[in-house]
Amino acid sequence: MTQESLESYSHENRMFPPSEDFTKEALIPGIEAYQKEYAKSIEDNEGYWAEIAENLEWFQPWNRVFNGDDRPFFKWFEGAKTNITYNCVDRHVHNGLGNKAAIVWEGEPGETDKRVLTYWDLYREVNQCANALKDLGMKKGDRAALYLPMIPELAITTLACAKLGIIHTVIFAGFSSNSIRDRVDDCQAKLVITADGGWRRGQVLNLKSIVDEAIDGCESVTDVVIVKRGHGDPFPCKVKEGRDHWYHRMVQDKPIHCEPEPIDAEELLFLLYTSGTTGKPKGIMHSTAGYMVYAYQTMRTIFDIKPEDVYWCSADIGWITGHSYILYGPLLNGASIVMYEGAPNWPDSGRFWEIIEKYRVTIFYTAPTAIRAFMKWGESWPNQRDLSSLRLLGSVGEPINPEAWMWYHTVIGAEKCPIVDTWWQTETGGILISPIPGATTTKPGSATFPVFGIDADVLTEEGEPTETGLLAIKNVWPGIMRGIWGDKQRFIDTYWCKWGGQYYFPGDGAHKDKDGYIWVIGRVDDVVNVSGHRIGTAELESIFVGHPDVVESAVIGINHDIKGQCLVSFVTVKAGIIATEELVIQLKELVIKEIGKFAIPEKIVFAADLPKTRSGKIMRRLLRDIAENRAMGNVTTLADPSVVEELKRKYSEN
Ligand code: WT7
């Protein structure tokens, strides 16, 4: 975020209290109820979480709610045994919700490609899948990588893994084969679940062929399961005898009941890989009980979820948003969810509004980058549809600019739906800062206040409270990550070194206004948030320097009207090499190969040299000034100040 936008944030003084109608019906009905619950959640934190946990089912009770003896390796609900899938599915079937819609799914092709799974359907399908996985020899503690489109089987197979205690790692289907390989290798996955294909903007993505390339030579993988997405004949794909199994054959005739595996509270539920400041993406570890309780409670209080709601989160299950607020959070609450496979602008830019009208969606959760794209496509798309079923809107993934917030509020929310701008991360497991919809008066662009059980503040590097500084979480909560797979030290160094290890450091800058509202500004490290996708600049730089013609590269994130941020890379080539359009294409192809299309920089600028200090450190701040066309800061510390003028010229030519 630039200084200008920060200024506009701190001058924002429009206030939107929840409507009386909303508050009257809300689970947290107004500010007093909120304050009372919040105070309890902080004063008696363990008691609070124990009480919430009682709403779920346990096979064995805990003997300690929280154990912080081995900081920062926290334990929650120690001694307890439970099963998250049992709580998401079986529990509701036993409680008479079997005939309620769990998943209302629409494929990208639309009308011809729809499915509704009741809780009973989900129960059967998850159990048949779990029984099939058992027959393959998969067991508790094994790792399974899931590379699937947004189809019901993604939910089913994820829940089936969890039912058996198989640690799942879902890989977003936009990632390349090399990214899959890195993840499979890192966690030594035994099983990969994929599909013959998935639809994206009218095209079939051949996922299985990407998987084949990825796991060629990966010795840990013993079995691959292929879901047939195509109707009738499968989409073309290879099937390797002995290793590959068709999902539909594997599950047919399997028993429809499957005993849930009792899982120890701290046993891992999943890994989710995400980018950091250095090196390859890291496997964020989430444990069973704490994550479950946290996803359950934040879903209930922040989305005010009720039995009659139709809830739609437009994210992909491949990201943490999809884990916590498409799958686990809603299902733990027995909600009906809408799940959509495709793009928001296919076959036209009104697709999302068509879906909301068609299924009478009541709660809609999406990302600012999508909202800004909708704004660009124009009001006429949503205006053609009946969106009156909506009662609550959510935003996630990046800061929402006040203009986009206001558009969401007026055009989509008809000025009656509260907006919950939810701040959190892959690492936090669930939302930490957000309005509570029936209680909090919102300000456009502010994620407002920490939610129940969370104590957050804005601090200086030294740990002093300040107006504009670093976001700090001062206590721990059940859903917090349990570490980085295979890298204890990196976990400590990244999140627990600032402020003497006292507070959790998320890597975001923030502003706290005079009313105590928190405005999250964006990352303060070398992580860039492009359309809500997290990309480490170091990852890209190492890809570029892997090209034989490249000497050095510096990648930065700059502001972008729709994407929030976009990537710009500066590249220097070896002496005698001429930087051509062909080289640009090759560099882009490398990014596609190593990460995926979504990580291609907006601009690749060739430079004779990069601005460096006398000790050889690249001055990224100056690169950002150049790319955002700002007056240059102090350049006197540069080893060679003339580099800047040259870069400016190159940049404007590009
Ligand atoms: C980073 C985490 C949380 C699910 C999706 C992203 C940014 C996220 C907000 C928000 C301002 C936000 C932060 C954070 N972020 N939500 N409401 N306001 N910034 O998860 O990929 O782990 O990325 O996204 O910078 O650190 P993620």
Answer whether 506 contacts ligand 1 (Cβ < 6 A).
yes
Answer whether 82 contacts ligand 1 (Cβ < 6 A).
no
Name which residue sits closest to atom 20 of ligand 1, judged by CA: 425
Helix, strand and coil content of the chain, in percent to the nearest 5, comes to 35, 25, 40
pLDDT of residue 9: 65
pLDDT of residue 545: 95
CA 244/CA 226 separation, integer angstroms: 7
Beta strand 310-313 with 75-78 is unpaired
Contacts of 514 (CB under 8 A, 6+ apart): none
pLDDT of residue 341: 95
pLDDT of residue 48: 98
Answer whether 479 contacts ligand 1 (Cβ < 6 A).
no
The 8-class DSSP code of residue 67 comes to E
pLDDT of residue 3: 45
Atom number in ligand 1 closest to CA 532: 6
Contacts of 575 (CB under 8 A, 6+ apart): none
CB-CB contact of 364 with 356 (8 Å): yes
Top mutation candidate among 272, 320, 529, 539 for ligand 1, by most atoms within 8 Å of CB? 529
Task: Compute the half-sphere exposure of residue 304: CA atoms within 13 Å on the CB side of its CA.
Answer: 30
pLDDT of residue 561: 93
Answer whether 564 contacts ligand 1 (Cβ < 6 A).
no
pLDDT of residue 190: 98
Top mutation candidate among 424, 518, 528 for ligand 1, by most atoms within 8 Å of CB? 424
pLDDT of residue 2: 46
CA 628/CA 622 separation, integer angstroms: 10
Name which residue sits closest to atom 6 of ligand 1, judged by CA: 397
Contacts of 446 (CB under 8 A, 6+ apart): 9, 12, 421, 513, 517, 518, 519
Answer whether 5 contacts ligand 1 (Cβ < 6 A).
no
Top mutation candidate among 175, 425, 508 for ligand 1, by most atoms within 8 Å of CB? 425
pLDDT of residue 633: 72
CA–centroid distance, 368 to ligand 1, in Å, is 11
CA distances from 79 to 63, 67, 423, 630 (A): 6, 11, 31, 57
Atom number in ligand 1 closest to CA 434: 17
CB-CB contact of 140 with 267 (8 Å): yes
Name which residue sits closest to atom 23 of ligand 1, judged by CA: 425
Answer whether 507 contacts ligand 1 (Cβ < 6 A).
yes
Answer whether 322 contacts ligand 1 (Cβ < 6 A).
no
Answer whether 519 contacts ligand 1 (Cβ < 6 A).
no
pLDDT of residue 12: 82
Name which residue sits closest to atom 10 of ligand 1, judged by CA: 423
The whole-model pTM stands at 0.96
CA–centroid distance, 518 to ligand 1, in Å, is 14
Ranges of residues in the chain with a pLDDT under 50 are 1-4
Kindly report the backbone phi and psi dihedral angles of residue 300, in degrees, each rounded to the nearest multiple of 5, phi listed first: -65, -50
CA–centroid distance, 424 to ligand 1, in Å, is 5
